[in-house]
Amino acid sequence: MSEYKIKFYKNLTTRQEPVYTYLMKIGSKDRAKIEKYLEYLRVHQGYLDEPYSKHILGKIRELRVDFFLNRHRVFYFTFIKQSIVLLHAFLKKSDKTPIEEIRKALKNYQEVIKNPQLYE
């Protein structure tokens, strides 16, 4: 059985990878913890139970990484050919996940579905 791979969603217009950009903007200790969780997610074939991951909408799940007072969230889904596509990331500041953050992830998800060849 081949291994799962982590892939970053890339905006076709701007060529930006929002999750990668997010990771580069945060502190190195926070980034290291998120990367550890991403590796854990990859080894577990894109599925982790709560409290590490939570279903959000359709195939979209949320990786939950808490580091002191910072609550990082990374939206992702498991895609064809054993790919885990990272859609959107943000720093959670309220108890409920803001709908605008879910909308960003959903928009990126829909773009991936329309262009699957880019993520194989």
The end-to-end CA distance of the chain, in Å, is: 16
pLDDT of res. 1: 54
φ, ψ for residue 92, nearest 5 deg: -80, 125
CATH of the domain at 66: 3.30.2310.20
Q: Give mean pLDDT in consecutive 10-residue pieces for the chain, a chain of 120 residues.
A: 89 95 97 97 93 95 94 95 95 94 97 88
pLDDT of res. 78: 94
Look up residue 113 and give its two tokens: 């579905």
Q: What's the number of domains the chain is made of?
A: 1
pLDDT of res. 119: 81
The residue segments making up the domain with residue 83 are 5-119
Look up residue 5 and give its two tokens: 């791979």
Q: Contact at 8 Å (CB) between 109 and 87?
A: yes
